[in-house]
Amino acid sequence: MAAIFAVVGSKRSGKTTTVEALTRELTARGYTVAGIKHVSEADFTLDTKGKDTWKYAQSGAKTIIAVSSNEIVTIEKLKTTCLSLSEILTRAEGSDVVFTEGFRKYVSKERSIYKIVVVKSAEEAREAIKTFSPILAFTGPYSTEELKLKTPYFGVLNDASKLADLVENIIIEGRRHSKKKETAY
């Protein structure tokens, strides 16, 4: 089972930058990383109007798979509002770590998912403490160090490796816990 971390914060706070930095650090350490991005635009699609894959969907295909020399893309045409977070996460099976970006409502109080909160102000940090649990760390343009919180702050732009160390420790602990469960049977 992959370790799951939700990267949450307000618009333009640096969520994507945080996921990019952590992904670079962890893939360099040999981990397989999956990223799941919540897109709030109602009619968003990766598909391109007029292309063959778009035509397949227009003709009724519910699953469309495009394969090129460097990637494979699966497009599933379905009502996503009825999907649970668990159902979404199954699409990342086989990864060591999964970063979700967005999904505020899905992850806010989900205790099995650590939150990395990207903040732009003290007010955002205080609000996050009320909204999200558990919070693994803060990052972003505003340093929460002056608030003297128990939750650590890591400047992901300056030193992503320290935040990646924290994430890696949880991955390792999760693997130990999994092995203990396996040997208990």
Residue 61 CA to residue 10 CA, distance in Å, equals: 36
What's the pLDDT score for residue 185? Answer: 54
**Segments of the chain with pLDDT less than 70:** 178-185
Please give the C-alpha separations between residue 173 and each of 43, 49, 101, 139, 180, in angstroms, as whole numbers.
40, 45, 23, 22, 11
What's the pLDDT score for residue 180? Answer: 61
Residue 28 CA to residue 15 CA, distance in Å, equals: 20
CB atoms within 10 A of CB 13: 21
Q: Say which amino acid occupies 99.
A: F
Strands laid side by side in the 3-9 sheet: 33-37, 97-101, 3-9, 114-118, 135-139
What's the pLDDT score for residue 146? Answer: 92
Chain CA centroid to CA 37, Å: 7
Angle made by CA atoms 44, 49, 50, in degrees to the nearest 5: 165
Phi/psi-derived region of residue 50, left when phi > 0, alpha when psi is between -120 and 50, beta in every other case: left
Phi/psi-derived region of residue 126, left when phi > 0, alpha when psi is between -120 and 50, beta in every other case: alpha
Q: What is the mean pLDDT of the chain?
A: 90
What's the pLDDT score for residue 43? Answer: 77
What's the pLDDT score for residue 173? Answer: 87
Q: 72: which strand partners?
A: 67
Tokens of 100: 């979700």
What's the pLDDT score for residue 182? Answer: 57
Task: Tell me the backbone φ, ψ of residue 64, rounded to 5 degrees.
Answer: -125, 130
**Radius of gyration in angstroms for the set of CA atoms belonging to the chain, rounded to a whole number:** 18
- Please answer whether residues 6 and 19 qualify as being in contact, where contact means their C-beta atoms are separated by less than 8 angstroms: no
CATH of 3-39+83-184, one of 3.40.50.300, 3.40.50.1820, 3.40.50.970, 2.40.50.140: 3.40.50.300
Chain CA centroid to CA 126, Å: 22
What's the pLDDT score for residue 175? Answer: 74
What's the pLDDT score for residue 169? Answer: 93
What's the pLDDT score for residue 82? Answer: 84
